[in-house]
Amino acid sequence: MPNHILIENKIGKFNKKIFVSGDKSISIRWVLFASLASGISKAKNLLMSEDVLAAIDIIKKFGIKVIKKKNIFIIHGKGLNGYNYKNNSVINAKNSATLGRLILGLLINSPKKIKLIGDQSLSKRDFKRVAFPLTKFGAKFQLKKNFSLPLTICGTKNLKPIKYYEKRGSAQCKSSIIFAGMRTKGKTIIKAKKSRNHTELLCKFLKLPVKITNKKKYDLIEVNKVNKINPLNYQIPSDISSAAFFIVLTALSENSKIVIKKVNINPSRIGVITILKKMGVKIFFRNKNIYRGEEIADICVLSSKKLNSIKCPIHLNSSAIDEFLVIFLVAAKAKGISYFRDIAELNTKESPRLKLASKILKMMGVKNILTKDSIKIFGNPKLIIDRKIVIKNFYKDHRIFMTSVIAALIFGGKWIIHNKESINTSFPSFLKIIKNLNT
Ligand code: S3P
């Protein structure tokens, strides 16, 4: 089987109802919380992607039993102190920074050394952003000079609570410190720039001693030692980050409509919707409801002819951080020059996404000006591609692959896109759903 795909035709019109896969952030968090619960937790619609399976492998390594029965995952939690730490164990977070960074918070009390490794892409990413604050709790790290993986952590029983200011808008850093605070006597205080709040919502639902005060620009989070976590049954909603590919595909296709069912529309995740609406995309929410503190809705999108450029407000950056690549495709077709600022974080993701986006847009014939933390995109409502475009050497970044597929289906041209298997990181059914759109 070739590991690339060839796309030579634009997508025809479609009118479909689809389901995209379960939310990655919530799936990983459910696995971690359930592993610490006292008793049996069950999840439906857990995302079956490599990132989540890596989380399951890690908790299994610590002696936690996980069973899959049909489409239900069952985790036999052994309580907060139920991890069986062995000498010199090695855990592998594969491609997932969320898993790698969050699990370190939980390992803060490990009496044994644990080595954390990852795949090639994760091994390039920064771990000092969690290792430094976790050191203040009392954990000891062996880190490489550039603070990437592999690293070794050794925890302590004498944990001290910390005060931590999270300035990046990183939910991974915030969550890692919440986990460490949950294991620590005394009050850990976090001042966090706004970012996705799934960890906090789970703490609230589980009635853990975690207090959150929402301020305009940041949240204050007080974490006290947790003594017990009750089992947590969860029906995982669909992932807005996966839905975003189909939102953009529909918006930029002709005479088409899509309904994406039961998507998580947590306000800290829907920057993509706010941005696209401002640009003129027709998006509506239907059947809104609240589940375990998370907002869920069906997302309805219509082909949208008149698209405006945007000067993207920076307060939306964190809530759209994984969706900028597809948002840039809308900017490529909008009238005028779009400007996205203060997004240097994009270059610290699975690949240097901001730099690669600029390169791919240029290959598509879209003028853009790139700096180290911004991009200006010169939109062209009449953009049609009639050349050959080869996408490879992109660190097997799943979102670069899927964005390229969407670009090929919208703008035409002959595209050869490598590393098809990268979709297994977050959205294994992506290509199957695309195939079914025109049938
Ligand atoms: C995630 C947080 C974000 C996001 C990632 C998932 C999470 O990363 O990009 O895909 O589940 O907490 P940062 O916390 O580094 O912004």
Tell me if 196 CB under 6 Å of ligand 1: yes
Average of per-residue pLDDT across 378-396: 96
Q: What are phi and psi of 134, to 5 degrees?
A: -70, -30
Please check whether residues 311 and 330 belong to one and the same domain. yes
The last residue of a domain, from among 235, 270, 285: 235
Q: 327 with 272: CB under 8 angstroms?
A: yes
Measured from the CA of 169, which atom of ligand 1 is nearest?
Answer: 16
223 and 245 in a single domain? The answer is: no
Q: State the closest ligand 1 atom to the C-alpha of 241, by its place in the atom list counted from 1.
A: 10
CB-count burial class (<10 Å; 0-12, 13-18, 19+) for 98:
buried
Protein residue closest via CA to atom 4 of ligand 1: 322
Residue type, 410: I
Give the confidence band of 366 by pLDDT, cuts at 50, 70, 90.
Answer: very high
Q: What is the pLDDT of residues 212-230, one digit of tens each?
A: 999 999 999 999 999 999 9
Q: Are 319 and 271 in contact (CB under 8 A)?
A: yes
**What is the whole-number distance in angstroms between the Cα of residue 300 and the centre of ligand 1?**
25
> Looking at the structure, do residues 257 and 118 belong to the same domain, yes or no?
no
Q: Is the pLDDT of residue 276 over 90?
A: yes
Using the predicted structure, report yes or no on whether residue 438 has a pLDDT greater than 90: no
Domain boundary among 235, 253, 270: 235
Q: What is the mean pLDDT of the chain?
A: 97
For position 164, what pLDDT does the model report?
A: 98
pLDDT reported for residue 32: 98
Reply yes or no on whether 298 is catalytic: no
Shared domain check, 256 and 200: no
Q: Distance between CA 213 and CA 222 in Å, rounded? A: 9
Rounded to whole angstroms, what are the CA distances from 25 to 21, 196, 200, 362, 371?
12, 9, 12, 32, 29
Same domain, 299 and 409: yes
* Ligand 1 mutation target, pool 170, 198, 349, most atoms within 8 A of CB: 170
Ligand 1 pocket member 170 (CB < 6 A): yes
Same domain, 266 and 401: yes
pLDDT at residue 388 in the model: 98
> What ligand 1 atom has the least distance to the C-alpha of 321?
9
Q: Do the Cβ atoms of 39 and 77 come closer than 8 Å?
A: yes
Domain residues for the domain of 364 are: 4-22+237-437
345 secondary structure, DSSP code = G
Please indicate whether residue 358, judged by its CB atom, sits closer than 6 Å to ligand 1.
no
CA-322 nearest atom, ligand 1: 9
Residues 13 and 155 in one domain: no
- State whether the beta carbon of 319 lies less than 6 angstroms from ligand 1: no
Domains contained in the chain, number: 2
Residue 352 has pLDDT above 80, yes or no: yes
**Which structure tokens are listed for 263?**
């998507």
Last residue of a domain, one of 235, 256, 273: 235
Which of 57, 322, 373, 386 does the annotation list as catalytic?
A: 322
CA of 412 to the centre of ligand 1 (A): 32
The side-by-side arrangement of strands in the sheet containing 65-69 is 65-69, 72-78, 38-44, 234-235
- Select from 25, 240, 264 the residue to mutate for testing ligand 1; criterion: most ligand atoms less than 8 Å from CB: 25
**Ligand 1 center to residue 378 CA distance, Å?**
28
> What's the pLDDT band for 88 if we cut at 50, 70, 90?
confident
Task: Find out whether 302 and 347 touch, Cβ atoms under 8 Å.
Answer: no
Lowest-confidence pick of 13-17, 86-90, 311-315, 419-423: 86-90
CA Rg value for the chain: 21
**For residue 390, which amino acid is it?**
V
Same domain, 221 and 244: no
pLDDT digits over 15-45, tens only? 999 999 999 999 999 999 999 999 999 999 9
Q: How far is CA 57 from the centre of its chain?
A: 19
The token duo for 235 is 């029906």
Cis omega (within 30 of 0) for bond into 150: yes
Which residue has the CA at smallest separation from atom 11 of ligand 1?
Answer: 25
Residue 1: pLDDT over 90: no
Write out the H or E segment, with its range, that includes residue 20.
none
Q: What is the pLDDT of residue 439?
A: 77
Spacing, Cα 335 to ligand 1 middle (Å): 31
Distance (Å) from CA 341 to ligand 1 centroid: 18
Please check whether residues 229 and 259 belong to one and the same domain.
no
pLDDT tens digits for 236-261? 999 999 999 999 999 999 999 999 99
State pLDDT tens for residues 154-196. Answer: 999 999 999 999 999 999 999 999 999 999 999 999 999 999 9
Query: Are 146 and 276 members of one domain?
Result: no
Give residue 66's pLDDT band: very low, low, confident or very high (50, 70, 90): very high
Q: Is the pLDDT score of 2 beyond 90? A: no
How much is the pLDDT for 371?
Answer: 98
Shared-domain flag, residues 214 and 89:
yes
Within this chain, do residues 50 and 68 fall inside the same structural domain, yes or no? yes
Ligand 1 binding pocket mutation candidate from 98, 316, 427 (most atoms within 8 A of CB)? 98
pLDDT at 357 over 90: yes
What was the pLDDT predicted at 142?
A: 97
Report the SS3 class of residue 220: strand
User: Does residue 266's CB lie within 6 angstroms of at least one atom of ligand 1?
Assistant: no
- Give residue 286's pLDDT: 98
CA–CA separation, 406 and 151 (whole Å): 37
How far, in Å, is the centroid of ligand 1 from the Cα of 345? 10
Q: What is the pLDDT of residue 46?
A: 98
Nearest ligand 1 atom, CA 173: 14
From 30, 95, 122, 172, the mutation candidate for ligand 1 (largest count of ligand atoms within 8 A of CB) is: 172
CATH of the domain at 99: 3.65.10.10
By the 8 A CB rule, do 213 and 61 touch?
no
Can you tell me whether residue 250 is helix, strand or coil?
A: helix
